[in-house]
Amino acid sequence: MGVISKLLGIVLVVGGGIMFFLGSSDQNMNIIYYFLGLTIMAMGFSLLTAGGKKEEKPNPPTVTEIACDNPECTFKEIRDFQKGDFILKSLETKCPKCQGSMTIQGVYMVREEEPVPTV
């Protein structure tokens, strides 16, 4: 169905376009060709644009942000989300810098920015 209507759309647009631009050798017929060509082209375009699908973008990956509990230590790590991670979970692994305890401070996704409105 999709392919057929697309093909029909192309045929109509091209056919209408030819009628519209070339017209007739007969001066009087030109006006009819003009309107007819325009209408046929419009039909073709509406067939072409109907149900047009955009390419689906996959969601960005979810990441887990881990930080050392020691306020003096600045260790921070961002890795892929693993099942069982949750925000404020205390981890068993020790901080590689100061051997202190570590906590998950964030589980999040960085989505594409929405376009900034111009008004």
Partner 1 sequence: MQGIGADSEFSWIINLAFFAFIIIFSLYGAKFQIWQWLKQIEAGLIELKKMALESRETAIETFKRYGKGDEEVAKELDRWLDYFTIMPVDLDPAGILKRLDHLLDERRDRFQEFVTDLAPEASQAELQTLENTLEVTQVLSLVFRIVRHYYILGKKTNSQLIIMQVQMQLPDILLLAKAYFDSLDAFSEGKPIGDGIGPLVVTRFAREYGATPDSYITEISREVGYYPVEVEGRTVYALRATGPGGTVGKPGLAVKTLVEQNKGRIARIITVDAALKLEGEELGRVSEGTGAAIGDLGPEKHAMEQAATENNIGIEAIVIKENEAAAVGVMDKKILDAVPEVIERIRTAILKRTKPGDKIILAGIGNTIGIGL
Binding-site ranges for partner 1 (CB under 8 A)? 26, 28-29, 31-32, 35-36, 39, 46, 50-51, 53, 59, 62, 81, 83-89, 104, 106-111, 114, 117
Contacts (CB under 5 A) with Zn ion, residues 12-41 = none
List the end-to-end C-alpha distance of the chain, in Å, as a whole number: 41
68 touches Zn ion (CB under 5 A): yes
User: d(Cα 102, Cα 69) in Å, to the nearest integer?
Assistant: 5
- Residue 104's identity, in one-letter code, is I
Among the listed ranges 1-9, 16-24, 45-53, 71-79, the one in contact with Zn ion (CB under 5 A) is 71-79
Retrieve residue 20's tokens.
């519209």
